[in-house]
């Protein structure tokens, strides 16, 4: 096992990434696609048209992928 940049080994980081990514993906999917809520981006004062649901879901799916990659690498 090789250490990651933060100094933690993959066996410790992979389950954490899977948990955070899974919880985030489920909550964003429920809020945006099932409850039909619009998530507003607060990064520029909430006055932008960023598709935050899609962006957040994509980010969480990549975190799940990274966790799986660390497990099976």
Q: pTM higher than 0.95, yes or no?
A: no
Domains in the chain, number: 1
Distance between the two ends of the chain, CA-based, in angstroms? 9
Looking at residue 43, its pLDDT comes to 67
| Residue 4 domain flag | no
Instruction: Give per-residue pLDDT as tens, 6-49.
Output: 556 778 888 999 999 999 999 999 998 999 888 777 666 666 77
In this structure, is residue 58 part of a structural domain? yes
DSSP assignment of 10-34: HHHHHHHHHHHHHHHHHHHHIIIII
By residue range, what is the domain housing residue 43?
10-72
CB count within 10 Å of CB 14 equals 20
Instruction: Report the alpha-carbon distance of residue 12 to residue 69 in Å, rounded.
Output: 13
**Does residue 5 surpass a pLDDT of 80?**
no
Residue 65 pLDDT: 94
């Amino acid at each position: 096992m090789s250490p990651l940049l933060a100094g933690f080994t993959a066996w410790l980081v992979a389950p954490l990434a899977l948990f955070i990514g899974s919880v985030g993906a489920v909550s964003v999917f429920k809020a945006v696609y099932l409850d039909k809520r619009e998530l507003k981006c607060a990064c520029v004062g909430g006055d932008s048209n960023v598709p935050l649901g899609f962006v957040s879901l994509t980010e969480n799916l990549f975190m799940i992928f990274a966790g799986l990659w660390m497990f099976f690498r």
